[in-house]
Amino acid sequence: MKKAVILLSGGLDSTTCMSVAHQEGYELYPISFNYGQRHQRELESAKAVASFYRVKEHRIFEIDYVGGSALTDPSISVPAYQEAEGIPVTYVPARNILFLSYALGYAEVLGAEAIFIGVSSIDYSGYPDCRPEFIEAFQQVVKVGTKAGVDGKAMTIRTPLIQLSKAATIQLAMANGAPLHLTTSCYQGGEKACGICDSCTLRLKGFKEAGLVDPIPYETFSV
């Protein structure tokens, strides 16, 4: 059976990616990361999603971040959502570069054909490592920087959500039977989602535009 490594945070987007890979018949090898994020709750969601799909193995990697983000430095507050230009304080330096590097090494060991990552260039917070040009550049790294790539068997970086709005992502997840009730997206990491951070707001707007009700609990609704 063909194999795929899935970057699984436990959030809506990565879980939708998992559902796409599952629908396409891949044997699923999700990986998650404990990088000192304040929203540690997402790791429990990732475990629950992996269990739902009865995966053969779910690996959680430890990365010792030095801060530099509201998600990894407790002295930097997570702001409420606001429409503004520029890269927000919730950007984690080089996060997707690191995550994809781990995924790439693991995929090469497994002999996997694909790596799935839930980046979107439509409904996102302005992170530079969620753009098509970043994915294209990393695909070139796969081609020239791995044995598989040199041998003409480079793994494909799959981004099924990159041109989808959050509403379209949610509709895809529902069509695939993805367990969105097990996911979390909140940057605060509380028992209930805060409802006002960037991630919560984009998620709630997506459900509203899709004409659906978000199955997870919130402290408040900003949309």
Q: Structure pTM? A: 0.95
Q: Is 214 annotated as a binding residue?
A: no
Q: Which two tokens stand for residue 94?
A: 């080089």
Q: Is 212 annotated as a binding residue?
A: no
Are the CB atoms for 195 and 187 separated by under 8 Å? Answer: no
Q: Is 174 annotated as a binding residue?
A: no
What percent of the chain shows pLDDT beyond 70? 96
- Whole-number Cα distances in Å, 70 to 7, 67, 122, 128: 21, 8, 22, 16
Average pLDDT over residues 208-220: 96
Q: Is 169 annotated as a binding residue?
A: no
Q: Is 145 annotated as a binding residue?
A: no
Q: Is 11 annotated as a binding residue?
A: yes
Q: Quick one: pLDDT at residue 183?
A: 98
Are the CB atoms for 117 and 77 separated by under 8 Å? Answer: no
Q: Is 130 annotated as a binding residue?
A: no
Cα–Cα distance, 138 to 136 (Å, whole number): 5
Q: Quick one: pLDDT at residue 80?
A: 86
Q: Which CATH class is domain 3-184?
A: alpha beta
Residues 156-202: tens digit of each pLDDT:
999 999 999 999 999 999 999 999 999 999 999 999 999 999 999 99
Q: Is 156 annotated as a binding residue?
A: no
| Arithmetic mean of pLDDT over the chain | 94
Give domain limits for the chain. 3-184
State the DSSP string of 19-41. Answer: HHHHHTTPEEEEEEEESS-S-TH
Q: Quick one: pLDDT at residue 45?
A: 98
